[in-house]
Every structure is written in structure tokens, then in C-alpha cells.
Amino acid sequence: MKKYFYLFISLLVLSCSTEDDFIENQESEITRTEVTAKISNPVSLLKAWTTYSSYRGYQGYTRKFTVKVANLAYDKSVSIYHQRLDGNWDEIPLSYSQSVNDGQNEIWTVEYTNGGYSIDRIYADEFVVKYEVDGITYWDNNNGTNYAMSRSEGSLFADQSLQVSADTDFVSLSYFPYDDKNTFNITVDVRNLAPTKEVGVVYSSDGWQTQSYVPLTYRQTWTNGPLYYIQSPNNFGIERWQGNARLDTSVNELEYAVVYRVNGNEYWDNNYGKNYTVTINSYN
């Protein structure tokens, strides 16, 4: 799944359609395509993440994507169609993550990283989502405008119903000898719906016979390497919140979910009803 397909296609606008509507000949060069979707689109970008860092000449680029698709058949492929700086487009395959909604939908993810000394940036800002199943190709192109993220944006919530999301790449349970405790660290992104809000994590180490709650703290900036910061809220109105809890050293595994209270409403990220799990000295 880590292969990249270099497709020599010049695209200005991508439109939601079947493959027959979108490309008559994949080898031909396309300058502008405007078509009307003939069916409801069974693929949607949920969220994305981009960061850039640099330290003593070493540069790092990271892009992450989470996509939901309708489970139309067992054999399928999901990918990000991403514009390169040279104007061509790459196809970055995603991997299956989990089934949701009683198997009616699936979550697919991918993380692209590129790091090294004196490396050049590969990707421009624009991308769309591609879903191939039963010989048909479907697209999510952000209603014809394409998605766009610069090299250091942080989080984008593409799904308008998504209000809170745990960043499992920055969740950990680790032993700290300084106070002889295990420490549960968690990072959460929320959509900035109002100035007054509360973000917290509910967790349990005994199968929810008992549970604890820890409020999280708003982060005005997020450091992504020396001198590189992501503002909070960012250009997409997403804020970053963090917190931790000191636990007994006998606690080696936790289940948790995050909650966001704002404007009299309560939003949860509980991993589609399955809750998240983190174990000692590991990430989710």
C-alpha cells in the first residue's frame, strides 16, 4: 500500500462523477473537466493533517488523511489524488482501518512522511479523494473546489458533523520514574464553535466498573519542531487541547473517550462506539 503512482495529468478542477464521466482515456492530458454527479457520492474525507518541521538542516513533511466510504463490495481501493509541485498528480493509496455503522461504512487512513537533509518539498496544496469499487470510480473533490492545505496547517475537519477528534498519534501511557507514576497524556482537536467551552477525557482501567474524568487545557500554539508553530485555532477553525493524568504503576492499559461541551451541546469521540485503548509505553 506504500506505492505511489505518478500520473501525468494536468487538472484544474476535479468533479464528483463515475470514472466514465471523469476520464475517457487515462493516458490523455486533461485541462478542465466539469461534470454532474449522477449518484450520491459514497466517499467523503473526514479529516486531514499537515505539518512541516526543520532542525539543523533536517526537514520533515507529514500529511495524514482519514476517509469514510460506503461498503459497496469487498474488493475496493481508496486513495488520495494529490497535486505535486510540478503540476502532475500522485495517487497515494489508503489502508483499511475499521468498519463502522454495522458494516455499512468503512474508515480508511494513510500517513505520508518525507524527511531528510536538503530534500525538496514534493506536494502542492490541492488534493481530492478517489474511491474505486465494482469497476466504478467515485470522487470527493470538496464540491468542485478541491481540498487545499499548506505544508503546516495542523487539522482540517472536512466532515461538517465532526466537532471533536482525539489525535491518537499524541496519546500515550508511559512510566515516569521522577514521581514513580504512569502518566496518561492525551491530545484532542475541536472545532471552535464558541469562546466558552470544555474539553475533557473520560477513562477507565477496569472495564468501566469505575471511571475518571480529566479536563484538558487549551493550547494557543502547537510546536512542530524548532521555530515552527501551528496556531490554535488554525485557518480551519480547529483548536488543540491537551492534558494528562498521573496513575498508579499497576495501570498498564486504559480505555478512553473524549467529550466536548459547548453552546449547551455535548459532542463525543469514542472511536465509533468502540472506545480507544492505549497500553503502557505505546501509542494507540
pLDDT in tens, 108-135: 999 999 889 988 889 999 999 999 999 9
Amino acid identity, position 38: K
Residue 85 region, left (φ>0) first, then alpha (ψ -120 to 50), else beta? alpha
pLDDT at res. 92: 97
- Residue 118 and residue 168 share a domain: no
Cβ neighbours, 10 Å, residue 25 = 7
- Residue 201 and residue 118 share a domain: no
Give the CATH number of the domain where residue 224 resides.
Answer: 2.60.40.2440
Does 220 score more than 60 pLDDT?
yes
pLDDT at res. 188: 97
- Residue 240 and residue 185 share a domain: yes
Does 180 score more than 90 pLDDT?
no
The verdict on whether omega for the bond into residue 93 sits within 30 degrees of 0, i.e. cis, is: no
pLDDT at res. 16: 40
What confidence tier does 15 reach under pLDDT thresholds 50, 70, 90?
Answer: very low
Per the structure, the complete domain to which residue 131 belongs is given by 5-157
Determine the average pLDDT of the residues in 270-281: 94
User: pLDDT tens digits for 21-31?
Assistant: 333 333 333 23
Q: Residue ranges of the alpha helices (H) in the chain?
A: 19-22
Q: Is 117 within the bounds of a domain?
A: yes
- The residue ranking higher by pLDDT, 232 or 4, is 232
CA distances from 249 to 168, 183, 215, 280 (A): 22, 9, 22, 10
d(CA 216, CA 30): 48
d(CA 98, CA 68): 10
User: pLDDT tens digits for 51-78?
Assistant: 988 888 888 899 999 999 999 999 999 9
DSSP assignment string, 138-170: EEE-TTTT-EE--TT-EEEE-STT--EEE-GGG
Q: Is 284 within the bounds of a domain?
A: no
Instruction: Tell me the three state secondary structure of residue 21.
Output: helix
What confidence tier does 179 reach under pLDDT thresholds 50, 70, 90?
Answer: confident
Domain total of the chain: 2
Task: Please name the residue that has the C-alpha cell 471533536.
Answer: 164
CA 91 to chain centre: 17
pLDDT at res. 155: 95
Q: What is the pTM of this model?
A: 0.82
Q: Is 125 within the bounds of a domain?
A: yes
Q: Is 221 within the bounds of a domain?
A: yes
pLDDT at res. 225: 59
Q: Which residues contact 55 (CB under 8 A, 6 or more apart)?
A: 225, 226
- Residue 268 and residue 203 share a domain: yes
d(CA 98, CA 164): 19
d(CA 218, CA 155): 15
pLDDT at res. 253: 95
